[in-house]
Amino acid sequence: LPAGLSQWFPALEVLDVSGTGLTEMGTELLSLPCLHTLLAKNNRLPGGPGLAPKGLGQAPLARSLRVLNLSGNRFSEVPPALLQLRGLRSLSLGGNRLHGIPPDIQELHSLEFLYLGGNFITAIPPELAKLPSLRYLVLCDNKIQSIPPQLAQLHSLRSLSLHNNLLTYLPREILNLVHLDELSLRGNPLVVRFVRDLTYNPPSLQELAGRTVKTRNVPYAPSDLPESLVRYLSLASNCPNPKCGGVYFDSCVRQIKFVDFCGKYRLPLMHYLCSPECSSPFSSASQSSTSQSESDSEDEASVAAHRMQKVLLG
């Protein structure tokens, strides 16, 4: 950055040095008391302890800066100096080489927007949930395999972008994000499998007839039907939807159902239903015959369907 910047522009509020080949931040920034937006995208900033000049935490800039965009640089870790900018409301570090998120991210209490997409992040620290003002969290295009249940503490969160990661399940606690109205999940193993399992082949005429015989208790004896049909009717499976009472033979809807295990884990179990209608959370409300964990899951699904305005699966 040019020397004398603060002398030439003492009232500077917005500085955009994106795409200029910048390799370091100079001390000139420290004495800009009015600067609230700094854009330094698509440069060659290497990150590390030397990114920001010494004394940043006590400088006027630490109190004035609200928006910082350092996307498209070369950071392999979140520079510790950034965590001294306690007044930040928006932080963008997308398209870098980050492999993790430091627990000290919780120090940015004023943060409302956090963009970390397009990195190599594999895990989300629980401390991220200690950002009380966070409204938009973008973690897309990383290598994240699981979501910590503590994220349910982000009560202000409105949008959560998790597409193109390695997620195979979501914790049930995510349903406690009462203000969340956009959740992006496309490109995860969970969604790919979920969409594939929605494939449903309509039942054949034989199956429809067999379902009618079973559900209406039509009497028959082995002498009334060919042996192959008697054997076929004996293979009927009951639909697990307690409000359905139907059966299926070959045509069924496969679903992933998450069930508590020892009160600690949420296991994805394959769930077979007789028709797509039975997969609706409203049509599969649990009865006394279901376990408590199943009942909780279905009740939560109904609540989530009411709250969530947009779930992006593809």
Ranked by mean pLDDT, the top range of 103-117, 229-243, 269-283 is 103-117
Residue 79 half-sphere exposure toward CB, CA atoms < 13 A:
28
Identify the bridge partners of residue 37 per DSSP, sorted by sequence position. Answer: 14, 67
Q: In whole numbers, what is the pLDDT of the chain averaged over residues?
A: 81
Residue linked to tokens 């993790």: 100
Q: Where are the domains of the chain?
A: 5-195, 202-249
CATH, range 5-195: 3.80.10.10
pLDDT class of 292 with cuts at 50, 70, 90: very low
Quick one: pLDDT band at residue 300, thresholds 50, 70, 90?
Answer: very low
Residue 132 pLDDT more than 50?
yes
For 267, list phi and psi in degrees, rounded to 5.
Answer: -90, 130
Contact assessment for residue 278 and residue 244, using Cβ atoms and an 8 Å cutoff: yes
- Residue-wise pLDDT for 178-220, tens only, equals 888 898 988 898 877 666 555 556 788 999 999 999 999 999 9
Instruction: Please give the model's pTM, rounded to 2 decimal places.
Output: 0.65
What are 87-99's pLDDT values in tens digits? 999 999 999 999 9
